[in-house]
Structure 1
Amino acid sequence: MRKVLYDRFGDEQVLEVREQPAPTISQNQLLIQVKAASINPLDWKIYHGEMKLLSGSSFPKGVGIDFAGIVSQVGSGVTRYRPGDAVFGFLEVFKGGALADYVVVTEEAIAHKPANISFDQAAALPVTGLAALQIVDQLAGVRQGHEVLINGATGGVGLFAIQLAKQRGARVTAVAGPAGLGQATQLGADSVIDYTKQRIGELPQRFDAIIDMSDKLSFTAAQQLLKPRATFVSMLPSPLGLARAFFHNLFSGQKHQILILKPSATGLRTLAALAEGGLQIPVEKVYDLANIRQAYQETSQGQVKGKAVVVLD
């Protein structure tokens, strides 16, 4: 089978498509034939070596966290799935390996794919959808009447966060570039801000929650826009950032929460129900496996807005 692997940290040139033996399963595992896998910023932060404290430095390493596909084999202990089922799910966040013809998972890492979405859309849903759920419901605690600012609103997570925050009854202000303003409005944002024309720090209103998807807005800069008891949520944890946030939160009503993604089968089933109910899953660009370096180069450089997916035929 084909699998994307790399033997050292570096840029997209370290990624290679190699032939590997097909994996085998134990009694509590399933073998999934991957139809599509999505691209996430965490992927390139890992292969660049920025997350080595969490990912480790042993090689070779695989790439890709979330996927959609068809159950090929099931172990004797598997009860909820059978060969031929269409599913979507995730692998270990800092281990990866979804960009392969086959992956091995447990039942707790997958859910049935909704019939009303494609494999491409299903692959785009787990990491960014679970992140948006965790941010909106757990970290920011968004609820009816809240004023929410989403910075970087038309990235993968932001597209879902807009929709979820609106479902919770919040008033959403979305910050994006000129090309993303229409999409943010279409997904439900009450107002949009073009960051090339207006500085966020000059906004007159104050917010119950500020969610920064861009990794460019500091907590210090965000504090002036927060209400006295409000929450700032940022992405991509670091040991120093987590420590600073912890000690700050002990003494201040303005909280700084940092996303540490915690995938779960329950979360996947929630996403499946949301997709069946009309959650929009915009896939901006689709690549094939032969163009994997181009796919990561373009996405890591910001040339693709929203979600990008790699298909495996």
Structure 2
Amino acid sequence: MKTIAYKVFGDTGVLQTIDEQKPSIQPNQVLVKVKAVSINPLDWKIRKGEMKLMSGSKFPKHTGTDFAGVIEDAGASVANFKKGDEVFGMVKNNMKDGALAEYVAVPSTSIWKKPAGISFVQGASIPTAGAAAVTAFQKMGRINPDSRILINGATGGFGMFLLQLLRDTGASVTAVTGTDALAFAKEWGAGSVVDYKKDNVLSQKVVYDIVIDLSAKMRFSNAKRIMKPGALFLNPVPGLSDIITSPVRNLFRSKKHVALLTAPSEENIPMLLNAISKGLTIEVSKTFTFNQAKEAYKYAEKGGYPGKIAIEVN
């Protein structure tokens, strides 16, 4: 089978198509014929060597975490899935394995049945970004119409899911995004929008109960200027020091820094599937072919697009 891999850390130029054997499966696994893979920032952070401590430096490495496809075979102990089922999911170890291939073998606990009303590229867009949005939503605690929430960098995949999850809470949600994505922010549920190309949200005289920075550009030290006493700053890309020290420091400060750590699970994916059944939409702004993998990652890494970027495989 064909797969996308790399033999050294680097930019998109290190990606190459290689031939490997179709994976065999264990009793608890399924073999999925991949139809689509979505791109996540984690993919290129691993490829660029920014996560060597976790990924190691053994090559070749594969790329892609989230996928959708059709089950071709199921292990003897798999009870909830069968050949022909349309599913979406993620590879078990994205520091080593990759979904951007013609076939993947994964545990049955790492997949879910794809809703009939969405495409494979939409299904492949759910796991990482969707689970992160559910985690953020839950970390916000009790939200009501008096809650004032700011989402910085609001219209990528994470923000797309989070805005729609917040829509039914009645909270006052402000989305910070670029000019071309303002309409998407409003469509997904933002009550007000800030065009970061024209205005600096930190200079406005509005304070918030919750600030979440999806752009990784607003530091907690800056966000405190627009946070109420007792407010939360949710950080989905925390550094190791943030993870270790924030819980202790929060004991002594009114404005709290919360490190978000997340993974798709038996709890958060069903919540997304329920939301999708009730009308949550998934925007895939651009789709590439398998042979355009390098171009797909180049485009994705530039940012500035609404929703997700995906690659069709089969």
User: Normalised by the size of structure 1, how large is the TM-score?
Assistant: 0.96
Q: Give, in angstroms, the shift of residue 303 of structure 1.
A: 5.4
What CA distance in whole angstroms lies between the structure 2 residues aligned with 1:96 and 1:265? 21
> What's the CA shift string for 1:135-181, capped at 9, x where partnerless?
111x3225112111000011110111111122233211000011111
* Deviation of 1:222 (Å): 0.3
Q: 8 Å contact 2:178–2:304 — kept in the other structure?
A: no
In 2: Cα distance, 1:189 partner to 1:277 partner: 18
Q: Say if 2:61 is the partner of 1:61.
A: yes
Q: How does 1:135-174 map to 2 (within 5 A)?
A: 135-137=136-138, 139-141=139-141, 143-145=143-145, 146-174=147-175
Tell me the SS of whatever aligns to 2:282. Answer: coil
RMSD across aligned C-alpha pairs, in angstroms? Answer: 1.4
Alignment of 1:48-87 (within 5 A): 48-87=48-87
**What is the alpha-carbon distance in structure 2 between the residues aligned to residue 216 and residue 143 of structure 1?**
25
Query: How far apart in 2 are the matches of 1:111 and 1:93?
Result: 18
User: Offset of 1:268 from its aligned partner?
Assistant: 2.0
CA contact (8 A) 2:38 2:66 kept: yes
* Equivalent residue, structure 1, for 2:290: 289
Aligned to 2:39: 39
Q: For structure 1, which runs of at least 5 residues remain unmatched after alignment?
A: none
Letter in 2 for 1:183: F
Does structure 2 retain, via aligned residues, the 8 Å contact 1:70–1:83? yes
Percent of pairs with identical residues: 41
1:201 aligns with 202
SS in 2 for 1:224: helix
Say whether the 8 Å CA contact 1:298–1:304 is kept in structure 2.
no
Please state how far the C-alpha of 1:89 moved relative to its aligned partner. Answer: 0.8
Q: Does the CA-based 8 Å contact 1:142-1:168 persist in structure 2?
A: no
2:62 touches 2:98 (CA, 8 Å); kept in 1?
yes
SS at match of 2:267: helix
1:18 equivalenced with 2:9 (yes/no): no
Distance 1:280 1:163, change over 3 A: same
| Structure 1: distance between partners of 2:191 and 2:311 | 32
Residue type matched to 2:161 in 1? F
Secondary structure of residue in 2 paired with 1:265: coil
- Rounded Cα–Cα distance in structure 1 between residues aligned with 2:97 and 2:122: 19
Whole-Å Cα distance in 2 between the matches of residues 305 and 187 of structure 1? 11
Letter in 1 for 2:242: G
Report how far residue 105 of structure 1 moved: 1.2
Letter in 1 for 2:143: R
Determine if contact 2:151/2:159 at 8 Å carries over to the other structure.
yes
CA distance in 2, matches of 1:142, 1:262: 22
Q: Which stretches in structure 2 are left out of the alignment for 5+ residues?
A: none
Write out aligned runs for 1:69-108 (5 A). Answer: 69-91=69-91, 92-108=93-109
Q: CA deviation at 1:7?
A: 1.1
Deviation of 1:305 after TM superposition, in Å, equals 3.4
1:298 aligns with 2:306: no
Aligned partners of 2:38, 2:97: CA distance in 1, in Å?
11
Q: CA deviation at 1:26?
A: 1.1
Confirm or deny: 8 A CA contact 1:37 1:67 kept in the other structure: yes
CA contact (8 A) 1:68 1:122 kept: yes
Task: Indicate if the aligned counterparts of 1:142 and 1:170 stay in contact, CA closer than 8 A.
Answer: no
The one-letter amino acid paired with 1:104 is A
Q: Which residue of 2 aligns with 1:274?
A: 275
Deviates most, 236-245 or 110-119: 236-245
User: Is the contact made by 2:166 and 2:189 (CA closer than 8 Å) also made in structure 1?
Assistant: no
Residues 184 and 306, structure 2, Cα contact 8 Å, conserved in 1: no
TM-score by length of 2: 0.95
